[in-house]
Amino acid sequence: MKCQKNTKKKPHNKLEPNYFTEAQQINIDWNIVKFRASSWGNLLAESKDKATPVGKTCAAELIKIYNQVKYGRKKDITTKQMNKGKLGEEDGITLVCRVEKQLYVKNQEQLENEWFTGHPDIFLGESIQKAKQVHDIKCSWELDTFTSKLIESVDKAYEAQLNVYYSLTGAESGSLMYCLVSAPQQIVEQEKRSLLWKMDVSTELNPDYIEAAKELEHLMIFEDIPIQERLIKIPVPRDEKLIEKMKAKVPLFREWLSNFEKKHTSLYPKQ
């Protein structure tokens, strides 16, 4: 069973940093800045000092947001695990649809409301704005990290992320969908080249390398495992208190960003 694709174009988001001109950067209205679903794990970090409502972890995330909005700079950290997640997303969605026997729709839209912005992976419903369910796809790097999800509690950052999606869509339920899909061939080849370098052998025809490469492929390809054993679904309840808590923090964070900009731009007079 193949999933449907939501073919609507991604709406133009006026708050995306690349759309700010130099003049706009001087007069940013921080009162309209919205916070990404993926940022809330850090934004919700409590301050150890009760006299300081914004702690170090939260402040570090706000500074990243400041740099992205004001200067259009965002540091993208890419790991091989993240690369597999991106390249393997389509396979993950197909796996979910086959195992669940549900025609989930792949979301193509960046959503926003008064407080949040985010991009759910898949949904059930008339449209993403009227979704009944929203789900986040996570493609595990290897079998060990996949099966361990059966006994792990839900990460607080993912709990916040899903609840932002609920606020954006009106969905009443959703989950984290951990998928065990085979690594794309280009990632397998990258790992084999890395193995060749680490083994410090002169050629790919080296018998030890051939055996090690064969074992490496076995650890990255999972087509021999039944599909029903390659999906772990972890429900994330809709938490109205958490949603309201995040909404209540938005004015505080906007004020913090505005004050931070004033502090930054008042260091020296404009030329």
Q: What is the pLDDT of residues 130-154, one digit of tens each?
A: 999 999 999 999 999 999 999 999 9
- Token pair listed for 119: 């991009």
Residue 173 lies in a domain: yes
**Which has the minimum average pLDDT: 17-21, 107-111, 192-196, 260-264?**
17-21
Same domain, 93 and 177: yes
Residue 257 has pLDDT above 60, yes or no: yes
Q: 39-43, 50-54, 133-137: which has the minimum mean pLDDT?
A: 50-54
User: Could you tell me if 76 and 203 lie in one domain?
Assistant: no
Burial 90-103 (b: 16+ CB within 10 A, else e): bbbbbbbbbbeeee
CB 57 within 8 A of CB 42: yes
pLDDT tens digits, 201-216: 888 989 899 999 999 9
Give pTM, 2 decimals. Answer: 0.86
pLDDT (0 to 100) of residue 21: 52
Candidates 83, 101, 85; CA nearest to 178 is 85
Task: Give all strands (DSSP E) within the chain, no chain letters.
Answer: 4-5, 35-36, 105-106, 111-112, 116-118, 122-125, 131-139, 173-179, 231-235
Q: Is residue 270 part of a domain?
A: no
* Local confidence band at 19 (pLDDT 50, 70, 90 cut-offs): very low
* Structural domain that includes position 239: 4-182+223-265
Domain shared by 211 and 244, yes or no: no
For residue 24, pLDDT over 70 is answered with no
Instruction: Examine the domain organization and report whether 92 and 209 are in the same domain.
Output: no
Verify that 147 and 174 share a domain, yes or no. yes
- Sign of torsion, CA 53 58 63 68? negative
